[in-house]
Amino acid sequence: MMLFSPSRLAAKPSLWQDWREDVACVFARDPAARNVFEVLFAYPGVHAVLIYRVTHRLWLAEWKFAARFLAAFGRWLTNVDIHPGATIGKRFFIDHGACVVIGETAEIGNDVTMYHGVTLGGTTWHKTKRHPTLGNNVLVGAGAKILGAITLGDNVRVGANSVVVKDVPPCCTVIGIPGRIIQQKGVKIQDPRGIDLDHHLVPDPIGKAINCLVERLDELEHNQKRFVVAEDTCGSCEAEGVCHGDEVVQLKQAAGGK
């Protein structure tokens, strides 16, 4: 697994090249995108990423205040909060960009897609690595929270509204609160671009558990009927033991009968 890291920025591309790739990737992931002008003027997620590219360069150049000021303006404009210190790879796309928060020490690989409401947050106040690291081709569903200095491998899918607090191996699907790995797809992924949007194919572990409980209840009820003897029309009398035998009487009493 190859994760994105600052050490891989030795040959950093130009700002113009990054911008072009950030805009071009929208057409591969959003079927509603019709032309470049629409993407440039009507996509707040794209605006946030383009502004981040500038703020990150200012941050690396030690222009800290200028970077934070421009980032604050970008947040006001797009409702997306990306810290200038975060490290984000190529072709990053925030679909329906709104209420997205990416912390200072977060690291994001190439070809990552996020939806609205996603948070890459920290779990400590210490000035250390405290935000998540995402590999390449990761998809994060709407409202998901990924917290702490954890690592999500390449080709990971995070279900909507999940809360992930532990490492996730490559090529896995994680959902729930807290996040649980429910599917391992192997190294090969379905989409040749690495963007897997088949949210409707995510397994339902809660529904599966309920089905298992229903099957167990049916089995228990079936076994119980084998030991319950129905009431006779003659009712209860002192000759019960003579008519049916002591063994049947004991079984009826054990089952709650008279």
Query: Is residue 30 domain-resident?
Result: yes
DSSP classification of residue 174: E
Please indicate, yes or no, if residue 244 is contained in any of the structural domains: no
The residues of the chain scoring below 70 in pLDDT are 1-12, 184-205, 227-258
* Structural contact between residues 48 and 40, judged by C-beta atoms closer than 8 angstroms: no
Position 242 scores a pLDDT of: 53
Residue 101 lies in a domain: yes
pLDDT tens-place string over residues 10-34? 456 788 888 888 888 888 888 888 8
CB count in 10 Å sphere of residue 24: 12
Query: How confident is the model at residue 138, as a pLDDT?
Result: 92
The whole-model pTM stands at 0.68
C-beta separation of 61 from 81 below 8 A? no
Domain-located, residue 251: no
pLDDT the model gives residue 10: 43
Q: What is the pLDDT of residue 197?
A: 58
Considering its fold, how many domains does the chain have in total? 1
DSSP structural state of residue 168: B
Q: Helix 44-60 and helix 15-24: axis angle, to 10°?
A: 160
Closest by Cα among 173, 171, 201, 172 to 188: 171
Please report whether residue 181 resides in a domain: yes
The CATH number of residue 66's host domain is: 2.160.10.10
182: in domain: yes
**Residue 37 domain-assigned (yes or no):** yes
Give residue 53's domain range.
15-207
What is the pLDDT at residue 1?
Answer: 42
Residue at 98 is within a domain: yes
pLDDT for residue 3: 47
3-state secondary structure of 18: helix
